[in-house]
């Protein structure tokens, strides 16, 4: 194996470059985390009806408490 040796200056330069890249990636990750937080916050602070959002206005849900014989027997119709 013919391995070239690294000088102290080369080592320091390489470590500097790697730390600089790491700082850039960390800043980008922090920005992405903030964007995720903003999207979640914006969605959660809306006054939305989840059922309507999922199924629309045209869906009608029958009540299980009034549309079955058992419901009439137990709940009086």
pLDDT at 13: 98
The pTM for the full model equals 0.55
| Residue 60, in any domain of the structure | yes
Under a CB-based contact definition with an 8 Å cutoff, are residues 31 and 40 in contact? no
Task: Output 4 or 30, whichever has higher pLDDT.
Answer: 30
**30 plus 54 within the same structural domain:** no
pLDDT at 57: 77
Under a CB-based contact definition with an 8 Å cutoff, are residues 47 and 36 in contact? no
**35 plus 13 within the same structural domain:** yes
| Residue 22, in any domain of the structure | yes
| Residue 66, in any domain of the structure | yes
* Mean pLDDT of the residues in the chain: 83
| Residue 3, in any domain of the structure | no
Residue 51 vs residues 15, 32, 54, 62, 72: alpha-carbon distances, Å = 54, 30, 5, 14, 26
Say if residue 5's pLDDT is above 70. yes
Q: How many Å apart are CA 65 and CA 75, to the nearest integer?
A: 7
């Amino acid at each position: 194996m013919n391995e070239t040796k690294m000088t102290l200056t080369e080592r320091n330069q390489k470590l500097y470059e790697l730390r600089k890249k790491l700082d850039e990636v960390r800043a980008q990750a922090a920005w992405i985390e903030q964007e995720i937080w903003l999207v979640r916050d914006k969605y959660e602070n809306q006054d939305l009806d989840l059922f309507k959002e999922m199924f629309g206005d045209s869906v009608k849900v029958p009540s299980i408490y009034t549309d079955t014989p058992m419901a009439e027997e137990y709940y009086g119709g």
